[in-house]
Amino acid sequence: MGVVHLTFDDGPDPEWTPRVIEELERVRARATFFVVAERVARYPEPVRTALAAGHGVELHCMRHLVHPFHWRATIATDTREALEVLAGVGVHPTYWRPPGGARASWSEALAASHGLRLIRWSADGFDWRGDPAETMVARIAPDLEPGAVVLMHDAVGPGAPRPDCSGTVALIEPLVRLARERGLEPALLGRGPSLSGFEPDPASAARPRRSTPSSAARPRRRASPAAEVTVVEEDEIPDRDRIALRELISSGFPRAAGAYGPEGWRTIRPAFRSLCQLAGEPVGQLSIFELQTDPPTRLHGLGDGVVAEAQRGAGAGRAIFWAAVEECWRRGAEIILTDTVALKPMLLSWGFEPVPRFAFHYEREGACRWHRHWIAAFRDRPPPDRLRLAEGDF
């Protein structure tokens, strides 16, 4: 006989979790509850009842924070607090289902640091909508196969339109009956054959570390034996080099070439630049901007990074970025922000992390704007959940 895994999120609820447990007992089925720890702190008895009845209790969250919308440090704190609460009622989770099943690029690494395994689901009746039990069974039926992980909820949960969980209680008996008709027995997670819903998030291959002035392994500073990387104040760039830099930047960004003035910048004047020179000629550059924010924060933005075509692949881009990051920390930056696709894997390995949606934002033409490729590093504490930039196009 195969197995299926019945799972419940968002509890415990003082009324509905006991009724779910009673129905599971009536049909002689075992399930796994992914609990919200701040609710466990208020309602510990349903958790103790679930454990005594032989059900599994695993981690959902402390507060219902969706990972991609928050900084790693925020979720790390939330997770640590949740595990402390769960330990207080005798629960030591093995599995972790983040709110909404959503993962950030760092979620898998954070889970591994606590010995947890991320899990999603493979069958969903959307019980949070409040549909009749027969509608939900029909919705689950095509995915009810050996190893299936079925998602349900034993609390109303944030944003759910249904008034209560009576539909979920009513769903249990026909769902278990259908599973047994197919030769499948409800079992705890970790029992039976390999589980569905465990495939790793492709983005989690890059596991960022927190970046501080001394935390990352130092890459080499030279792009090639004859190339020199230096940091130069904007006011100290000679006119001859400034003309060459404008041409270099325009060649790297041909679609925006007309937006660069004779001094080689568009919307914000750089404070300084990281330059790579070969035989006295600039072959790579990165502009560093001191950005104004609300609330006030020492934020440095990195932009207009470009390397001459003949020097690409020789380490010039890596060298100028590292020199810029080093200098930003030396000058007291609290946050470093950049928008890059090509160098994103490298910067993630240095401790940068993706900026949650609209965590940093700016206004233009009456609209609130955010760049989906923004990544940031912070010195020694997480940035605020919301930070307004006076200008974000740099």
Is the Cβ–Cβ distance between 70 and 386 less than 8 Å?
Answer: no
CA distances to 37, 135, 144, 177, 376 from 182, in Å: 35, 19, 9, 9, 50
- Which residues touch 367 (CB under 8 Å, ≥6 apart)? none
Q: What is the rounded end-to-end Cα distance, in angstroms, of the chain? A: 61
Could you name the CATH architecture of 2-205? Answer: Alpha-Beta Barrel (3.20)
Q: What is the pLDDT of residues 268-293, one digit of tens each?
A: 999 999 999 988 889 999 999 999 99
Average pLDDT, stretch 93-97?
Answer: 97
Least confident of 112-126, 161-175, 213-227, 334-348: 213-227
pLDDT value at position 387? 92
Residue from 70, 153, 300, 361 carrying the catalytic annotation: 153
Q: What is the pLDDT of residues 372-394, one digit of tens each?
A: 899 998 887 767 778 999 999 88
Is the Cβ–Cβ distance between 355 and 378 less than 8 Å?
Answer: no
| E strand spans, 144-222 | 149-153, 184-186
Is the Cβ–Cβ distance between 286 and 302 less than 8 Å?
Answer: yes
Proportion of the chain above pLDDT 70, given as a percent: 90
Least confident of 77-81, 195-199, 295-299, 342-346: 195-199
pLDDT value at position 306? 92
153 flagged as catalytic: yes
Average pLDDT, stretch 303-310?
Answer: 91
263: pLDDT strictly greater than 60: yes
Q: Rounded to whole angstroms, how far apart are CA atoms 371 and 58?
A: 35
The total number of residues written for the chain in this structure: 394
pLDDT value at position 280? 85
pTM: 0.64
203: pLDDT strictly greater than 50: no
**Packing angle of the helix pair 16-26, 166-181 (nearest 10 deg):** 20
- C-alpha closest to that of 317 among 341, 289, 353: 341
239: pLDDT strictly greater than 90: no
pLDDT value at position 279? 86
Structure tokens at 70: 């928050």
Residue from 9, 13, 154, 304 carrying the catalytic annotation: 9
220: pLDDT strictly greater than 90: no
Tell me what the pLDDT averaged over the chain comes to.
87
- Which residues touch 67 (CB under 8 Å, ≥6 apart)? 75, 98, 99, 102, 103, 104, 107
191: pLDDT strictly greater than 80: no
Choose between 21 and 160: higher pLDDT: 21
Domain boundaries, the chain: 2-205, 227-389
Q: Rounded to whole angstroms, how far apart are CA atoms 260 and 252?
A: 12
Least confident of 139-148, 215-224, 380-389: 215-224
pLDDT value at position 204? 31
Least confident of 79-88, 91-100, 185-194: 185-194
Which of these CATH numbers, 3.40.47.10, 3.30.230.70, 3.30.70.1380, 3.40.630.30, describes 227-389?
3.40.630.30
Is the Cβ–Cβ distance between 121 and 151 less than 8 Å?
Answer: yes
Residue 78's SS3 state is: helix
Least confident of 218-232, 318-332, 352-366: 218-232
Which pLDDT band holds residue 200 (cuts at 50, 70, 90)?
very low
9 flagged as catalytic: yes
Least confident of 6-15, 139-148, 358-367: 358-367
